[in-house]
Amino acid sequence: MMNSRGLALIVVLWVITLLTIMASSFSLTIQRETAITSGLKERAEGRALAEAGINYAILMLLTTNKELRWQAFGSLYDIEYAGKKVRIQISDESGKLNINLATQEQLLQLFNSFAIEQELADSLVDAIMDWRDKNDLHRPNGAEKQQYAVADLKYEPRNGAFKSIEELQLVMGMNAKIYQQMEGMVSIYTKNKQINPTTASRAMLLTLPDASEEQVNEYLQQRVDNERNGESVVQPDWFKGSATKSNIYMIISEAMIDKNITEKIMAVIKKTRSKNGLPFEIVKWSTDYQVASLFLEANDERIVN
């Protein structure tokens, strides 16, 4: 009789232990699913707000009211929408280096600004020019069909203009780190052979000959001050050339849902009469564009409005 009671007690304890484990596991699963659902909800909300920021920026960029119109000198704006903060940066693409029109010297200045080995810089410059030229004769440090085949690559140079910035990743010698550095500094959309300093980023300005870091920093502050005061933004005294704008703009919109949760969207738009009757055309749209957060404290002093 005692043995039966002892066995029953053991069974009961085992059942209780099993139920406890099952309850704990179920509770943990519920917590994880709740966290995942919450995260998805926050990302969806952030994405929607960032998209709203893009649309608002287009409206302000194209408005006929000159006093209200937003500028595109790498200009940073801060707005509040649906109770959340949204930061928007607008840049005229003329401030970037056109990868299809860039000279050997301009490309070399670009790669030298990344502080990479000279041999690698020389080979990347030649490989880019070999990619876009129409012949199969490779430059001293470049690469054409034969070199790509020897490297066991399953593709060959286009022998024509780059169709996208992403295509640069296929150029022989290019790596992810270098591509990420140059992605925001080059373009395929403008027809300018020369960089427009009034719309160029700090990194791009530092690639210009005879431009010191002190001069660039001073000019960028002057550019922001002129925008805030409603004054014209002009090219710096040390720049040799003429600043020509385009009608193509990159807009980056970042929405902050929480202190550590933001979502970004990047769009490139062209000011033109589109097929659907709108005064602009979206030529590129990205939800995973790699760029430092617009909410970094260092950007606070750049806000125009």
pLDDT at 181 over 90: yes
| Claim to verify: residue 88 and residue 217 sit in the same structural domain | yes
pLDDT of the residue at 26? 60
Alpha-carbon distance 84 to 255, whole Å?
A: 7
- Whether residues 171 and 191 fall in one domain: no
pTM of the entire structure? 0.84
CA dihedral over 267, 74, 124, 137, signed as positive or negative? positive
Average pLDDT over residues 108-135: 95
Examine residue 49 and state whether it is found in any structural domain, yes or no.
Answer: no
For residues 82-111, one letter each, b for 16 or more C-beta atoms within 10 angstroms of the residue's C-beta and e for the rest, the string is eebbbbbbbbbbbbbbbbbbbeeebbbbbb
Percentage of the residues of the chain whose pLDDT score is greater than 70: 88
N-terminal to C-terminal alpha carbon distance within the chain: 86
Mean pLDDT lowest among 18-27, 58-67, 153-162, 260-269? 18-27
> Can you tell me whether residue 213 is helix, strand or coil?
helix
Average pLDDT over all residues of the chain: 89
Compute how many other C-beta atoms are within 10 angstroms of the C-beta atom of residue 149.
Answer: 12
- pLDDT level of residue 299 (50, 70, 90 thresholds): very high
Query: Does the residue 34 lie in any domain?
Result: no
Residues spanned by the domain of 298: 70-96+187-305
pLDDT score recorded for residue 192: 87
Distance CA 95, CA 179 (A): 18
In the structure encoding, which two tokens stand for residue 281, read together?
């055309």
What is the token pair recorded at 26?
């179920």
Identify the domain boundary among 122, 157, 183. Answer: 183
The verdict on residue 80 lying in a domain is yes
In a domain, 177, yes or no: yes
Average pLDDT over residues 52-67: 94
The tokens for 279 are: 């005064």
Residues 302 and 265 in one domain: yes
Q: How many CB atoms lie within 10 A of CB 43?
A: 13
Query: What is the predicted pLDDT for the residue at 24?
Result: 66
Residue 55 lies inside a defined structural domain of this protein: no
> Which of residues 149, 165, 183 is at a domain's end?
183
Is the pLDDT assigned to residue 91 strictly greater than 90?
A: yes
Q: What pLDDT shows up at residue 18?
A: 66
Least confident window among 12-26, 215-229, 249-263: 12-26
Question: What does the alpha-carbon distance between residue 289 and residue 229 come to, in Å, rounded to a whole number?
Answer: 31
- The DSSP code for 9 is H
The answer to whether residue 113 is domain-embedded is: yes
Q: Is the dihedral of CA 212, 214, 215, 216 positive or negative?
A: positive
Q: Which pLDDT score is estimated for 241?
A: 81
Q: Is residue 133 part of a domain?
A: yes
pLDDT for residue 39: 58
Residue 145 CA: distances (Å) to CA of 3, 127, 150, 216, 291: 85, 11, 9, 41, 33
The pLDDT score that the predictor gives to residue 220 is 95
Evaluate if residue 38 carries a pLDDT over 80. Answer: no
User: Are residues 168 and 97 in contact, defined by beta-carbon separation less than 8 angstroms?
Assistant: no
Q: Is pLDDT at 266 greater than 90 in this prediction?
A: yes
Q: Alpha-carbon torsion 52, 189, 217, 111, what sign?
A: positive
pLDDT at 90 over 60: yes
Within a domain: 51: no
Residues 232 and 281 in one domain: yes
Question: DSSP class of residue 184?
Answer: T
pLDDT class for 8, splitting at 50, 70, 90? Answer: low
Same domain? 280 vs 291: yes
74 and 210 inside one domain: yes
8-22, 150-164, 228-242, 287-301: range with lowest mean pLDDT: 8-22
237 and 89 in one domain?
A: yes
Co-location of 252 and 216 in the same domain = yes
Only one residue has tokens 């990619």, namely 131
Cα–Cα separations (whole angstroms), residue 65 to 59, 78, 197, 279, 281? 11, 19, 25, 15, 21
Instruction: Identify whether residues 141 and 179 lie together within a single domain.
Output: yes
Q: Write down which residue in 168, 183, 198 finishes a domain.
A: 183
Please tell me whether residues 197 and 284 are part of one structural domain.
Answer: yes
Domain harbouring 143, CATH code: 1.10.40.60
User: Quick check: 12 pLDDT over 70?
Assistant: no
**What are the structure tokens assigned to 51, written together?**
């998209």
Give yes or no: residues 129 and 233 share one domain. Answer: no
**Total structural domains in the chain?**
2
Measured in degrees and rounded to the nearest 5, phi and psi for residue 97 equal -90, 120
Shared-domain flag, residues 83 and 210: yes
